Amino acid sequence: MARRMKRMDLKALQTKAFKVTTDSHHAKPVYPDLMKRGISTSGINQKWTSEVTNIRTTQGWLYLAVVMDVYPRAIIGWSMQS
């Protein structure tokens, strides 16, 4: 990754110090772990996982959502929106 960034003349920006935003001590309901922390599977389309992240750009925030099939570890869908 560093070689690609250097070749494209890109540099990482320093961010502010990490700030904890999660409050684990609350009275709200906690949803069950449907995967039981088991991420192994014996075939495709049995377990999917997803992630949503935000990316700061010069034009504002960009949100990226990705869906991955656990078995082949392949991205099966993604979307970007402002």
Instruction: Judge whether 82 lies within some domain.
Output: yes
Alpha carbon distance 47, 39 (integer Å): 8
Look at residue 74 in the predicted model and tell me its pLDDT: 94
Instruction: Judge whether 58 lies within some domain.
Output: yes
Which residues constitute the domain of residue 56?
Answer: 45-82
Look at residue 11 in the predicted model and tell me its pLDDT: 85
User: What are the pLDDT digits (tens) for 8-63?
Assistant: 988 888 777 888 888 888 888 888 888 777 778 899 999 899 999 999 999 999 99
Domain count of the fold of the chain: 1
Alpha carbon distance 22, 36 (integer Å): 21
Please, where are the H alpha helices in 1-82?
A: 2-7
Q: What global pTM score does this model have?
A: 0.57
Instruction: Judge whether 35 lies within some domain.
Output: no
Instruction: Judge whether 7 lies within some domain.
Output: no
Write the CB contacts of 31 (distance below 8 Å, at least 6 apart in sequence).
Answer: none
Return the higher-pLDDT residue of 36 and 68. 68
Instruction: Judge whether 18 lies within some domain.
Output: no
Scanning the structure block, which residue is given the tokens 């929106």? 81
